Structure 1
Amino acid sequence: MKVLLVGEFSRLHNSLKEGLQELGHDVYIVGHQDGFKNYPIDFPIVKKWDNGILKKLKVGIHSLFRFDISSYLTYRQFKKNKIHFTNFDVVQLINENSFYCQYYYERKILEFLFKNNTKVFLLSSGYDFLNVKYGFDNPDFKSAIQPYLSGRISTKNFENVLKFKTKSFEKLHQFIYSNIKGIIATDLDYHIPLHNNPKYLGLIPNPINSAKIDFQPTTISDKIVIFHGINEANYYKKGNDYFEKALDCIAQKYGDKVEIITTRNVPYSIYINSYNKAHILLDQAYANDQGYNALEAMAKGKVVFTGAEKEFSELYNLPERVAINAIADVDYLVTELSHLIENPAEIITIGKRAGDFIEREHDYIKIASKYLEIWNRY
C-alpha cells in the first residue's frame, strides 16, 4: 500500500510511518517543520512570512485586504510539488487544518488531494471544529479551553484554537467531512467529543516506537529527580503555571532531597534525552489521556504527571496506576509529588507498569496494523 501522511506535530505520523514500513508499505510525510521540534518530514513545507518584519507586514496586509500571504505561499509550495502527492491508496490528514492555511487555500490543497488519491481519512488529533465546540459547550470537560475560560490565556494567544469557532472553519470542517471516508481519534480527549458521530471510525491509540526509546529500569540512590519540559507557546494550555508553583513548594519542602530540571523550547532530538536521569516527569494538567510526550516518557519507565482520568483506566482496564492524573491544583500536585518522594519504591513500581503498558497498548507495529485494518475496511 502507498500511503501519504499529512502533517506532523508530535511524532505520531513518524512512528506510524515506521510501523507501516516494518509491515512492508510505502509511506511518505508532507507537512510543516513544526518549529523547534523539527520532526523528520519527507516533503517539508516552510511557513513563510512568520516572524520579524515580514510577519508585521503580513499582519498589516491581512488587516487591510483580508489576505493571508503565508497561506498563499504554503499553497504555492504544495502546488510546485503536487506531482509527489497523487495516486496514493490512502491519504491521512493529521487534523482539519493540516497545512495551517486559511479556508480558501486549505480547501484548494485538500481539493487536489481528494481528487487525485483513492481514500482520504482524518485524524482527530489536536484542535478541530467539533472538539473545540464540545469544550466550549461543556466547560467542565477537562481541556485547554478551561484555562481560556478562566482568563488565564488571552484571546490573542488563543487564536489557534478560537479560529475553529469561525464560520470559515465550520465550512472547512463540513467540506472535509463530505469527502473523507471517516475520522479516527488518537486518544480519549478526541474520542469523547466524537461520540455518536456518523463519520467516527473509532479510537486507535498513539503509536510508540519503543525500538527508538530505551526503557530504563528506575534506580534511586540519592536525590529524586523531577523533570519539567516547557513549550512556552503552550505554557498555560498545558498547566505549566501550576506545575512551576508546585515545584517551588517541593523545592522548599524537600531541599537537597530533590533535583528539579526545567527546559524551555528545546528541539525534540534534545528533549527526548534531556530527562533520561529523571524519575518523575511533569507533562500536562488539562487532559483526560496521554499525549505523545507523556507516552514516550512512560516508555522510558518514568512516572508521568499527565491525563489519566477514570475513563482512561476504564478504557484499558487498569487496576493500578501507570501514570499520575494531573489536575490544575497546586495543593493536589504537591501532595502527589510528596507521596512519591517519600515512597520511592512506588516510583520504581509505577515506572515499570508504565513501560509495560506502552509495550502492550501502544506498540507502533500493532498500531500500524490497526490503521491498515480500518483503511482496508472502508
Structure 2
Amino acid sequence: MKILLLGDYSALQQNLKEGLVELGHEVTLVSHGDDWKKLDNDISLQSKRKGLIGKLDRKYFRPIKLIPQLTGYDVIQFIGPLLFSQSFGYNEKLISYLIKHNKKSFLLVAGDNSIYWKNARNLKYWPNEEARAIDGETKYIWNKNRMVRWNTKMATMVNGIIPIVYEYKVGHEKFSNLYQTIPIPVNIKNITYQENIIKNKIIIFHGLNRPGFKGTKYIKKAMEIIKEKFPEKVEIVIKGNIPLKEYLKLIQKTNIIIDQTYGYSYGVNAVFSLALGKVTLAGCEPECLKEFNIESSPVINILPDVDQIVSVLEELVLHPETIPVIGKASRKYAEELHDYKMIAQKYVDTWNNA
C-alpha cells in the first residue's frame, strides 16, 4: 500500500510510519517538524529561505510546489484539520484538493481541533478557558466560526475519523465515519529500556509545553511541596521546548515523569515514558481503560488537584522499592498496548475496511 502521512505531533506519525514500513508498505511522511521538537520527516513543509521570502515560501509557494508529491496515494492521513496557512482559504482549498486526488483519506484526531473543543465542554476534564489564557490563547483559533465550519466539513469529506484517545472519540461521536480508537504507537526497538534504579535521589520530571493545557500550575506546586518535604530524597526537574531526541535523553535519567492533569487519557509523552520504564503520572481514568479494552494500567491517574498529586508523589517517595517494579510493568505495558507494528496493522485494517 502506498501511504502519505501529512503532519506530525510529537512523532506520533513518525512512529506509525516506522511500523508501516516494517509491515512492507511504502510510506511518505510530510510535516513541518512540529516546531522546536525538530521531528524527522521525508518531505519538509519548512522553507530553507530566510526572512519574508522564507515565510511566504513556507506558507504559500512550497506547498504548491509539493502537490505532485502529495497525490496519487492509496491512503492519505491528515493529523488535524489545519496544516497550511488559513489566509485566502488556502488551507481548506489545498486539503480539499488532496482529499480528491488520493484514493482514501482519513482524519487522525490527535491534538486540538474545533470539534473536540466544542464538545469537550461537556466532559469532566478538559483544558478550560483559564488554561487557554495561561497558554496565551485568548484569541483561540478553534473557536472561530470559520474554523468550526471547516473542521466539520473536512470530517464529513474524509473516509474515516480515527481518534487516539477516549476524549477525542467522544468529541466526534456524531459523525457516522468515526472509527475505533487506536492507541498511540511507539517504536519499541528505538527506545532502550533500563531498570528504573534510584541513585542518589528520586528524580521527578515535568516537561514544559503548553502549561495551561497540561495543568502545570498544579504539577509544579505539588513538585515544590514534595521537594520541600523530602529535600534529601527528591530532585525535581522542570524543563521544556527542547528537541524530541534531547528530551528522550533527558528523561532517560529520571525516575518519575509527570505528564498532564487535564485528561481522561494520557498522551504521546507518557507513552515514551512508559516505554523507557518510568513511573508515569498522567490521565488514566476508567473511561480510558474501557476505551482500550483493558482492566488496569501502570499509568498513575492524577487530577488538576495539588493535594492529590502530592499524595501520589509522597506514596512513591515513602516506598521507593515500588519504583523499579512499576517501571518494569510500564515497559511491558508499552510493548503490549503501544507496539508500533501492532498499531500500524490496526491502521491498515481500518483503512482497508473504510
> What TM-score, normalized to structure 1?
0.87
Question: How big is the shift at 1:204?
Answer: 0.7
For 1:101 and 1:174, the matched residues in 2 are separated by 16
Matches within 5 A, 1:306-317: 306-316=282-292
The aligned residue for residue 59 of structure 1 is none
For 2:310 and 2:49, the matched residues in 1 are separated by 43
The 8 Å contact of residues 28 and 42 in structure 2, kept in 1 or not, is answered as yes
For 2:293 and 2:151, the matched residues in 1 are separated by 34
> What TM-score, normalized to structure 2?
0.93
Matches within 5 A, 1:219-238: 219-231=197-209, 234-238=210-214
For 1:321 and 1:176, the matched residues in 2 are separated by 34
Say whether residues 1:204 and 2:187 are aligned partners.
Answer: no
Cα gap change, 1:121 to 1:103, in 2 (>3 Å): farther
Say whether residues 1:189 and 2:172 are aligned partners.
Answer: no
Say whether residues 1:143 and 2:126 are aligned partners.
Answer: yes
**Percent identity of paired positions between Structure 1 and Structure 2:** 33
Give the letter aligned to residue 314 of structure 1: K
Secondary structure in structure 1 of the residue aligned to 2:106: strand
Secondary structure in structure 2 of the residue aligned to 1:287: coil
Secondary structure in structure 2 of the residue aligned to 1:275: helix
Give the letter aligned to residue 248 of structure 1: E
Say whether residues 1:106 and 2:85 are aligned partners.
Answer: no
The 8 Å contact of residues 183 and 292 in structure 2, kept in 1 or not, is answered as no
The aligned residue for residue 267 of structure 2 is 291
Structure 1 gaps, min length 5: 55-68
Question: How big is the shift at 1:155?
Answer: 8.6
Q: CA RMSD in A?
A: 2.3
Matches within 5 A, 1:1-378: 1-46=1-46, 73-99=58-84, 101-102=86-87, 104-136=89-121, 138=122, 140-144=123-127, 146=128, 148=129, 151-154=130-133, 157-158=136-137, 162-231=140-209, 234-316=210-292, 318-378=294-354
The 8 Å contact of residues 215 and 355 in structure 1, kept in 2 or not, is answered as yes
Give the letter aligned to residue 228 of structure 1: H
Question: How many correspondences in the alignment?
Answer: 353
Cα gap change, 1:342 to 1:102, in 2 (>3 Å): farther
Give the letter aligned to residue 223 of structure 1: K
For 2:47 and 2:206, the matched residues in 1 are separated by 29
Give the letter aligned to residue 126 of structure 2: S
Cα offsets for 1:299-352 (capped at 9, x unmatched): 111011111112123334555441111211111111110000001122222222
Give the letter aligned to residue 7 of structure 2: G
Give the letter aligned to residue 284 of structure 1: Q
Secondary structure in structure 2 of the residue aligned to 1:142: coil
Cα gap change, 1:155 to 1:211, in 2 (>3 Å): closer
For 2:58 and 2:279, the matched residues in 1 are separated by 43
The 8 Å contact of residues 49 and 57 in structure 2, kept in 1 or not, is answered as no
For 1:321 and 1:375, the matched residues in 2 are separated by 28
For 2:96 and 2:290, the matched residues in 1 are separated by 40
For 2:293 and 2:351, the matched residues in 1 are separated by 27
For 1:224 and 1:24, the matched residues in 2 are separated by 43
